[in-house]
A and B are shown apart, each in its own frame.
Chain A
Amino acid sequence: MRAIRKSRAIAILALLSSKFAFAQGCALCYTQAASASGRFIHALRSGIFVLVFPPLLISLGLATAAYRKRNQFQEDISEETNARDSNSKINSAQDP
């Protein structure tokens, strides 16, 4: 038990003490990011925020739609539609 706790603590410490990642991979990106002012960092953060929220809202919308239709089958919809269609047929029949 103690060993597990110890290893957990080491793992957490290792995660917390990780160094920040600089741009060993892409010199151009790093040069651009390093030479940019706080304005760019702020802009990137805003850009990230703008992209994060719409998918969350869309997911929420789809989840709501799925939940509302969870027990709804074609037959239920059809009955409703057939009723409407027959209504509109009556209207059409009255057309000159």
Chain B
Amino acid sequence: MESKLADLMTDLEEEAVLKLTKELLTQGQPPLSIIEQCRDGLSRVGEHFAQKEYFLAELVMAAEIFREVMALVQPHLGASEGKGALATIVLGTVKGDIHDMGKNIVASLLSASGFRVIDAGVDVSSNVFVDRVKESGASILGLSALLTTAIPSMKATIEALTDSGLRSRLKVMVGGAVVNQRVAENVGADFYGSDAIKAVDFCRWASGGGSGA
């Protein structure tokens, strides 16, 4: 789909994206189409990231521009429009660890990609994760850790989900500086994401939204 808005979004031209969004809204373009074009731009940002042409700073900027676009578009959305999220995802940094950099960028990108994100915060105990998953009906859980000492908390959280009978309907992804494939297998996760874009791809795949992980 040819779209100037998507191109500007891909190039992270903040001012130009916001200016064009306002113009399109004034011209009466459907708000959902504007969101779609920006998401298209955002997914190209993800492709640049996968190609190592963009880095985390670009992802942060892209998520920020998207947030600003949403703030402009939101008042124009009808009551029922844009409510159909792809899936609900609970995210958090596990007990014993308060690092939030990785979790925050994953949360921003997932919500920009159309998922409903429940951010459980940092230093989250396994019973809080269980409660959040239960309340929200989430189908995906993302656990983050930067400290090796927090890895047992990942394992404990996944065990607690099994004990409460929630594990079978849930996909669990893990990430963070000390996590790798071996750690993921060891704690009983379904997926290890080495970066934020891989997490988004996994969630799309896990929720049946295309783009294989």
Are these two chains actual partners, yes or no? no
Q: A interface vs B, CB < 8 Å?
A: none
Enumerate chain B interface residues (CB-CB to A < 8 A).
Answer: none
